[in-house]
Homo-oligomer: A and B are copies of this chain.
Amino acid sequence: MLGAIEAGGTKIICAIADENNVTEIIDEEIIETGDPTRNVEAIIQFFTAHPVQAIGVGSFGPIDVDRHSETYGYITNTPKSGWKNFDFLGALKKLAVPIYWTTDVNAAAFGEMAYGAARQTKNSVYLTVGTGVGGGVILNNEILPGKKHLEIGHISIARRSGDSFEGVCPYHDDCLEGLVSGPAIYKRTGIKGTEIGPEDAVWDTVAYYLAESCVNYALSFAPEVIVLGGGVMHQKQLFPFIRNYYLQVMNEYMSVADLESFIVHSELNNRAGIIGGLALAKKVLGGE
């Protein structure tokens, strides 16, 4: 049996699945994110009742993913009460099983590669556009390594002519997240994204910036597919606009055989993180 933990800012999901049927979750529990010590107790209780051979953890961040660091496995600089400098991985070691430790978005990227929209590829980018914007990069079927996890949702991109929206990113104002996240859309329109009609001009703006970002990801990672997920991407009308603006911004500099299968919607949707966690548990169990 395999286990996964998807630790988010509001809820923590624990789940189990058989290693021969990773996408079929057999049992799961949702824990409200609160005091980390009590949260970990609940997690350990779940996996004591449902023993597993390995666990994949996708955690909210920022987290320390450098195996050679003294604070490897810690949540680092979060504003979330009690979690700052919390040794999350260390606390989970009580379970005495191998654990794959990464970010929530890296787990989701891995899930889409293993069982979702990027499953035919070795190299992919996954971006989730919701309350925040974040993503993971897969290269040769591995999460892009490095001493720190990536933050591709915060890249700087060119402003569209005529758009003077100030942005909502608390760090960078008008980085990608600052321009297209759910809160950005709300601040642009005064209406929640789910209540904005599909013809509203704001979607055209959002599509433009996402296209610019896809161009930057294509130039930076040469992926075979870019998978877009998260709440904002439920607006399916965005996709043809993103693809059109992608062509316009890229201007034939790097060609793509089939744009429809290059910029695609998430297939695992809000299960990407937890299924990715299970896939990572399988990977760690296989000694890969």
Which A residues lie at the B interface, using CB under 8 A? 123, 137, 139-140, 144-152, 154-159, 171-172, 174, 212, 215-216, 219-224, 249-254
Most buried by B among A147, A156, A253: A156
- Other-chain residue from B149, B159, B216 in contact with A216 (beta carbon distance below 8 A): B216
The answer on a CB contact under 8 Å between A151 and B253 is yes
Which single member of B140, B158, B171 contacts A157 (CB below 8 Å)?
A: B158
List of B residues within 8 angstroms of A159 by Cβ: 158-159
What 3 A-B pairs come out closest when comparing CB atoms? A146-B222, A148-B222, A171-B253
Contact yes or no, B219 A171, CB < 8 A: no
Q: How far is the CA of A93 from the CA of B26 in the complex (A)?
A: 55
B222 near A147 with CB under 8 A, answer yes
Contacts known (A147-B123, A150-B220, A220-B150); A156 close to B253, Cβ less than 8 A: no
CB neighbours of A223 from chain B (8 A): 146
- Measured between beta carbons, the chain B residues less than 8 angstroms from A171 are 250-253
Contact A172 B249 (CB under 8 A): yes
Most buried by B among A137, A158, A174, A212: A158
